[in-house]
Amino acid sequence: MNQWQKYNGEIIHASISEEVECILKKESELGNKLKVYIGTDSQVKRRVVEFATVIVFLREHKGGFMYIHKDRIFHQMSIKERMLTEVQKSIDIAYLLCPLLEQNQIDLEIHADINTNPNFQSNVALKEAMGYIMGMGFIFKAKPESFASTNCANKMVQ
């Protein structure tokens, strides 16, 4: 699947940039203040790594909604490579949407499905992921604060 979709499965036919631009306009007209969170999670299933990247829009005191993009890689990866690929996918989308979000003064966070506890395998990628995301000028959140990747994207690759 190389397309973005809504949570209800509806396929987005415009580019994700165009879709987000429409959302920002509509939500602004409704008087809603938004925050945006981008995260990616993955699962390994029989040597195939399935990724789900989400863009989560939260309205201040009024709930939220999200868009999902799924893809696959057909080769084995170390846990560190997989974690950093998740981060790369999130950064790619953040970088694409950044001009729109800045223009509309909307805060953006990138959420990594990486545990801050060294007893967990994903922790091997924490320093690199944090440096990469923050070095690109984005706000970084890891577990347990990374709900976009840990909860939202996770549901899409289960």
Taking the whole predicted model, whether its pTM rises above 0.85 is answered as: yes
Q: What is the pLDDT of residues 22-68, one digit of tens each?
A: 999 999 999 999 999 999 999 999 889 999 999 999 999 999 999 99
57: left (phi over 0), alpha (psi -120 to 50) or beta: beta
- Cα 156 to Cα 63, 97, 153: the distances in Å are 19, 21, 5
Count of positions (residues) in the chain? 158
Q: What is the CATH number of domain 4-156?
A: 3.30.420
Q: Would you kindly state where each structural domain of the chain is located, as residue ranges?
A: 4-156
Amino acid at 3: Q
**Percent of the chain whose pLDDT exceeds 70:** 99
144 cis-preceded (ω within 30 degrees of 0): yes
